[in-house]
Each structure stands twice: as C-alpha cells, then as structure tokens.
Chain A
Amino acid sequence: MSRQAASTERIANRTAGPPNFFPRMSALAAPTFQDMIRALEAYWADYGCVLMQPYHTELAAGTMNPATFLRSLGPRPWKTAYVEPVIRPLDGRYGENPYRFQHYFQYQVVIKPAPADVLDLYFASLEAIGIDLRRHDVRLVEDDWEQATLGAWGLGWEVWCDGMEITQWTYFQQLGGFDVELVPAEITYGLERLAMFLQGKGSAFDLEWAPGVTWGDVYRENERQWSAYNFELAPVEALVSRFGDYEDECRALLDRQLPLPAYDQVLKCSHTLNLLDARGAVSATERAAYIGRVRNLARAVAQVYLELEADAVAAA
C-alpha cells in the first residue's frame, strides 16, 4: 500500500514548524528574544501595519488568527503584524527534545494587497533584526502551502538563511474555498529559529528571552506539564463530544449571521481534533473525516463573512 494512504497525515497545521536548527556564529550584540520581537514590531509598525495581539484561543498557526484568515478575504485592504503563540499538541516532547515543542512562537505579517516590493520589505526586516544579507546565504526555496482544514492554499517559499528555514512566505490564492480578491502576502517568521540563529544557540531552551532569563526558564516546565496533558490526560470522550458541540454552535451562530464568534468555534474544533490526534484517538481515515467537517465549517464561515463584507462595502 502506498505510504500516502498508510502514513499518518497530520492535521495540516502549517508554520515555520518546530524550531530545529541554529548556526554556529558569533553572538556579538545579538538581540534577546524580546528585543528581536520589539525590533520586528517597530519595523512593521513603521511600515504602517496595525499591530495586533495574540488571539484568545488555541491556534496551530498564526494563519488561523482571524486577523489573517478572515481579513485576507474580501475587497478591503489590510496590513497587520503580531506575535502568535502556536499550539501543536502532537509536537510536544515533555521539554526533553530541544527541537520539539507543543507551544512556540511565530511572528505573523499580512499585507493585502501585496505591494510590488513586498520581498524587499521583508529582506529589510531581516536587516532590522541584525542579519547582514551579504554575509549570509539567504534564499527562497519553493514551498507550496495548503491547509486542508481551512480550505486554503497559496504559493510561496521557505526562506533559508545559511540552510536554516527562518520564514514561510505565501501569496494566498484561496481561503475557505474562496478565491482572494486582493492577493495578500503572508510572512510567517519562526521566532525561536530566528533567535537561535541570531544568538548562536543550539537549543531554544538556552535562548536569552530577557537579560538573565532564558526561554527554558519561562517555558520548559510548561512543555513538561502540557505534554503530559496532551498525550496522557486530555479526556478523549469529552473531546469527541465537545467537537460536536462546537460544530453545532458554529452552525447556529452562522444562522444568526455572526461569522466572528462562529469562526472561534471552527478554531476550537481544530484544536480539539489536534488534541484527539495527540491522544492517538483518531485513525487516519477518521482524521480525514474530521478535517472535512472543519473545512466545511470554515467554508460556511467565510461565505457569511464575505456576504457581510460586501454589504459593508456597499453601504460605505
């Protein structure tokens, strides 16, 4: 049997992935984790982005934040940037493996429509956090993005810096099964990888978060406890029933033309599925069926959202 059929197709949460790699480079004047975030915030705020804050429910990728997913739909321009903590239960390793976490950070930028110099803007942001583009080998390597749960796809790249993937870059083409009207550029920085690169650290735990405080000080225990919950204790039967409840709630909210709270139910479904996956409670076939259910919800939300957007634009 083909490995496609047999292997475990994980729920298609995308990002710049778990932070894996680091360069052996001098750590002279390297920014702390929080300084690096501040530099990105300053750079993109100066460009004119609306600085958003992380979303209030679990997301497996910054893309799923409504500030990206919903705002990328419809005819209205939009520029935003924000930090997103991403939650991927399956990727936890109890804080034992320095390359795998169930909770880490992305920096997400969306510019809609993408300006003609959008790549140059991005490269300048790398310089703003201290990467000398002439000293390093920075390259764009084909990476076509597709997320089944959101009915979304786009074309773009992984950005490599001396062989390390530091960013995922996508021109969205479809979201929720709908063609985008203005093509947005989505820039997703993997913050731990970037920081490991800049600080010359071999493990995310050793990253300097703030002077004298490491990433591990802040989050290692978090990894241990949440891995135990995700893999051993998350209540399977309750999760299965919650999934159905969220699904029903989403439909009910859509009937009332409330796509924003309805979309939160989609996110909760998606995270519930990821927890079930971490508990080993879904077979590959069942997972495909669950993904189909989430995708149908995401499509229905996108449709109602677009209807309201069209009304709002017409009224204006």
Chain B
Amino acid sequence: MPSLLLEIGCEELPAAACREAGAQLPPLAERQLGAAPTEVFVGPRRLAVFFDEVPERTPDEWVKGPPVALREKAAAGFAKKHGVAVNALVERDGFLGVARPGQALREVLPERLDAIVRGLSFSKSMRWDDSGIRFSRPVRWTLAKLDDDTVVGETTFGHRFTAAAVEIPHAREYAERLRGAGVEPDAEERRRSIVGGLDDIGGWSDPAGVLEEVVYLVESVQVLDGSFDERFLQLPERVVVTAMQSHQRYFPLGGNRFAFVANGGNPGVVRAGNENVLEGRLDDASFTFERDVELGIDALAERLGAITYFKGAGSFADKTERLQKLVAELGGGDATLEAARLAKADQASELVREFPDLEGYIGGQYARLAGYPEAVSAAIEEQYLPDASGGPLPQTEAGKVLAAADKLDALATSFSLGQKPSGSRDPYGLRRGAIGLVRLAVEGGLVVPRSLLPEEVREFVEERLEGLLAVPVEFVRAARTSAAPDLAAVARLAEELFAERETAAFDGVYTAYDRAHRLAGRAAEDAAPELDRALLKEEAERELAEGLARVEVDGDVRRALESGATLAPLMERFFDEVLVMDEDAAVRANRLRLLLDVRDVLGRLGDFSQIPR
C-alpha cells in the first residue's frame, strides 16, 4: 500500500489554534481516508498528516434502503434522497439500496483534503476570500503526495525568509526535506530542542508557562540568551518577570539575564535587538514606578475616591471603608486594619494600569518602600489569594483576614446589585471568590462567622463546601442547616457526622429526629408557640420533655450525639403511650410543640432528613 502526505499551508496560526488543529486532525483524517495517520505535524505555518500505508481504493459502500416489499411506496423517495434513479437501486438480502463502489484514492484525494480543511474548527476563525472557508488564519497552499505522485498542489515552502519553494520527491521525505529548508515541522521535536537549548544555558524558569506558546511561535528553533542593565533590578521583581514573560515570551534566568527563542536571524543582531526591546520596556516601567513611589502609597490611597469600583458599588474609597469594617468584624488587629486602609491604593497607581495582573503585589511593594511593617505589606500583597484553583493561601494572619474581607465584600456587593453568577456566566469571578473564602476558613483556620454573610451569599458560599469536602453532599447539606457558628464549623460538623454515621449514637439521634420531623414537621402551624408544662398529662411526655431539657448538643459532636441519643428510648415510649392527635386542641398543640422542640434541638446538629437511610 502507498504512503500518503497531506499538508495545509497557512499564514501564522496562533498557538491555541495549533493545539485545536492538532487534536482534531487525526480523527478527521481517519474519517476521510479510512486509516489513522502515522504522524501529525503541527506548527505555525503548516498542518500535516503522514500515513505510512493507505488503501489505494476507498471501501465499497452499501446504503441500505426500504425492504423490497415496500418498493411501490418507498423506493422513489429513497432514490431521490440519494440522488440516483429508481431503476439504479440494487436488491440485496431483501432490501433495496444504493451500491457505491470504492474509488481510486488518487481520484478522491482533492475532495478529501478539502473536506479536512473545511472540517477543522477553531474557537476564533476568519474568512479571507470568497471560498466560504473559515479558518484560524488564511490557508495559502495545500499539498498531497501519494508516494512520489503529486496529487494536489506542487511544492511546499520552507522557512519564510531563508528558503523558498521546496520539492517533496516522496511522501516519506516530507519532514526530512523541510528540515533541510530550515523548518522543524514536528511540535514535539521543537519542544525538545527548545528545552534542550534552555537547559544548556541553565537556570531558566517559566512561571507564566510561555513555553507552550513559544513551541508554536517558531518553525526553526534558535535559543539565545541576553541581559539588561542592572539598574532595572530596582524594579519589583514580578514587574521585570511580567515584562519578560507576558510581553516578550522570554524565560527569566535570574538576576539581569534572560533567554528567548528566535525563529532565525543573526544571533548577535537578534540578541542585541531583544536586549534593547526589554530595556525599553523596563525603562518605561521605571518612569512609571518612580512617579508612583515619589507620590507614595498614602497619597495614592487618597485618590481612591475618584476611581469607580464597579457600577452601583461606589468608589474604591467606599470599598476601602467597607473592607475596614469587615476586617474589624473578622477580628483583624491593627496591622490588618492598616492593610485594609491601604489595600486598594495601588488601583490609583500607574504601574497597576500597565501591569494589571500585579495588583496587590505592587501595593505590597509600595507599602514596604513607604516603611510600613512587614505584616501590613504582606497582607496587602496577599489580599487576592487564593487566586487560582488549588492555589496557595495567604501565609500571614493579617493576609488571611484581609483576603477574606475582600472576597466577602465582592460577594455581598455583587449579590446586592443582582449580579449573581448563573450557569457558566460569572464575569466577576464570584465562584472563585466564594471557594477562596471557604478555603480560607477550612484550610486557613480563619473564623468566618456565618452571621457576617447575607443569606443569599451564605447559601452560595456554603454550596461551595459540597464540592470541596470529601464527604457525601447529603452530610454537607445536613450540616449547613445546623447551628454551627462559622464556615469551618459547618465543614467540621459535616465531616464528623459522616465519621459517626455508623455509631449507635448517630442512629439514636437520627431516629428521634426523623420520627419527630415526620409527625410534627408538616403540622407545624398547628403547634403551640411554646411548650406548656402544665398541659403535659402523660408520664411518657413529661419524661420526654425532661429528657430534652437535659440534652446538650453544642460543642463536641460525638458527645452531642450521645447526649441527643438519650432521647431515642424516650421517643419510643412516647409514641407507644401517647396519642399526639388528642381531642383537646390545646393538648394536641402542646404535643406537636414538644416534638418540634425535639426536632429543633437535635436539628442544631444538622437537618438529618437530608441524609438518606
């Protein structure tokens, strides 16, 4: 069987488009050609698939139609649908159908290649002529080689500036010929040589993960290193790293050195050019930085009244006031209060305008430069943590409090303005904020009183516990209705209820709660507002009331369960001996109240009806 090479030549594709095409090409090619590609080449200027062996003919097809018996009724419609004459239908095994004999691959390759081009889909696509094709960037040539036979196109093209049209004598020689023309078509090979080049230089880092993009920014790999004037080391380190990585896709080497990947050119010229570009960026950042520092963080904080937080939520000065109040309510000390006062000051700085991802960090640096204590500066720096799923929490106590206050305010403010996340829409990142708040409580040990959260916000935040804790959601739901005073206590209760679920005490409480809830829960409006001991006529109901008064459910969960479980035998006797639905309305209402009290006291441990048995 022959080998086959298909190539789609493009103008420079973005890295994301390369990844999308790389994922779609193998199944798409297999669907069109009936064989899985042996190799897939993905790069900025070309997408290609190579098949070691492909069948020379496409398979015969048989399109099954209506049974022969229904020829009168259905044959015409079926034939029309498939574009054949009725008398061209073929009979096979009692059915009519269309027989499509396989065709020579050579004949169908042009249309199959076209179908592959049209079959690729990109999250962002464009048109560039009237072909009707949408692609990530314009397609400029296609090539199909069946062994040494050129079926589509004429040649491929080498490196954009150092090579011209490249003949591919045989499908098997594709990669080799391109390598001779300054192009490494294989993304994995490019990655290996980039990493190899960086390792040879040594000491490289890639905190922002630009390697994945750089692999698709070059066809030819040339790893170079450079340096910048040491005076720029006065800039906050992350400003320098961001300028290198986000703006220039460089790899920091520590100190004033960096590495980068070029697509060609004279190494000395290219290095000098890149060094000066980076110095220009750092010089510009220095202008901005020095102006901010000259003003100082306190002066910046005074400008916050002029900057809108977001629509309807006042200015950043208003936000600052709310933060200070929340920080106090969360038990923050003097350092935390000071940090809250200065937390948003960097929103008025020019450097944050230029480096928006570094908000918080820049404020922390400015606080240090102004001589504020490390506790204050660190808290400002840590206020947006955790800022990624599974990302680190603030290390300092003040940082935890400030970070919680920031998230709490964002949630409360947004919810009060009706800006709640719905479905996948969450423009203000409130889900991430809520998860952050829960993690600060559960993992960070921060006491976040539930009473600080408006009801809707509390519901939203506590729902996040369901995904975060390693216990079935029913136990979390049960604990959420408990009297636990803070977020971490809800989490602990859910875990402990789950841990105790097989114990006799749990069973006792569960049964008592369940029976009280089933009988009285639906008749709550008929119950007396308060228990009247004078109306307790029967021994069994008096014992239950006395037992209930002795139950202690706040504090340690195991002891609470054991205490609550003492009600189980009393409840059993109560149901054996007492008729709740007494003829006397007052007695009946009182008995309902007693049962509701049982439910509510035990309910301080959670809503057991959430837990299935």
Contacts and interface: CB of A to CB of B under 8 A. Distances in A.
B193 interface: no
Given A6-B347, A8-B353, A136-B265, A162 B128 contact: no
Given A25-B272, A183-B129, A134 B280 contact: no
Interface stretch (B91-99, B281-289, B451-459, B512-520): B281-289
Contacts of A8: 307, 353
Contacts of B284: 20, 97, 99-100
Interface string B131-148: 000001110100000000
Contact of A285 (B12, B265, B310): B310
Contacts of A164: 273, 276-277, 280
B124 A155 contact: yes
Interface in B299-334: 306-311, 313, 316, 319
A162 B273 contact: yes
B269 interface: yes
B277 to A, nearest CB: 4
B209 interface: no
Interface stretch (A113-121, A206-214, A254-262, A294-302): A113-121
Interface in B476-526: none
Nearest to A139: B263
Contacts of B306: 280
Interface stretch (A29-37, A140-148, A222-230): A140-148
A163 B274 contact: yes
A149 interface: no
Nearest to B426: A2
A25 to B, nearest CB: 6
B82 interface: no
A25 B269 contact: yes
Contacts of A133: 161
Given A7-B353, A135-B266, A283 B248 contact: no
A5 B356 contact: no
A284 interface: yes
A3 interface: yes
Given A135-B266, A139-B217, A99 B280 contact: yes
Contacts of B538: none
A238 to B, nearest CB: 20
A4 interface: yes
A240 interface: no
A96 B287 CA distance: 9
B269 A6 contact: no
Nearest to A165: B277
A93 interface: yes
Nearest to B266: A135
A74 to B, nearest CB: 15
B26 interface: no
Nearest to B283: A99
A164 B274 CA distance: 7
A190 B276 CA distance: 17
A25 B273 contact: yes
A24 B410 contact: no
B287 A21 contact: no
B423 interface: no
B15 interface: yes
Interface in B251-288: 260, 262-266, 269-270, 272-278, 280-281, 283-284, 287
Contacts of A135: 265-266, 269
A114 B127 CA distance: 11
Contacts of B356: 3, 7
Contacts of B218: 139
B429 interface: yes
B82 to A, nearest CB: 35
B273 A163 contact: yes
Contacts of A1: 309-310, 313, 319, 410, 413-414, 428
B225 interface: no
B128 A22 contact: no
Nearest to B126: A155
B310 A5 contact: yes
Given A155-B126, A285-B310, A137 B15 contact: no
Contacts of A20: 277, 280-281, 284
B212 interface: no
B11 interface: yes
B427 interface: yes
A134 B162 contact: yes
B309 A136 contact: no
Contact of B128 (A4, A183, A283): A183
A171 B264 contact: no
Nearest to A23: B273
Contact of A163 (B160, B277, B307): B277
B11 A119 contact: yes
A173 B129 CA distance: 11
Interface in A150-183: 154-155, 157, 161-164, 171, 173, 183
A158 to B, nearest CB: 11
A135 B274 CA distance: 13
Contacts of A304: none
Contacts of B444: none
Given A23-B276, A136-B266, A137-B270, 13 more contacts: A5-B427, A8-B307, A20-B280, A25-B272, A134-B162, A135-B266, A135-B269, A136-B270, A137-B273, A142-B15, A161-B273, A163-B274, A173-B126
23 contacts: A2-B427, A2-B428, A6-B316, A23-B272, A100-B287, A123-B160, A135-B269, A136-B269, A137-B263, A137-B273, A138-B160, A139-B217, A140-B12, A142-B12, A161-B273, A162-B270, A163-B278, A164-B273, A164-B280, A171-B126, A183-B129, A202-B280, A285-B311
Interface of B: 11-12, 14-16, 44, 124, 126-129, 136-138, 140, 160-162, 217-218, 222, 248, 260, 262-266, 269-270, 272-278, 280-281, 283-284, 287, 306-311, 313, 316, 319, 347, 352-353, 356-357, 359, 410, 413-414, 427-429
Q: 9 tightest CB-CB pairs across the interface, nearest first?
A: A162-B273, A21-B280, A23-B273, A142-B14, A283-B308, A140-B12, A137-B265, A163-B274, A137-B262
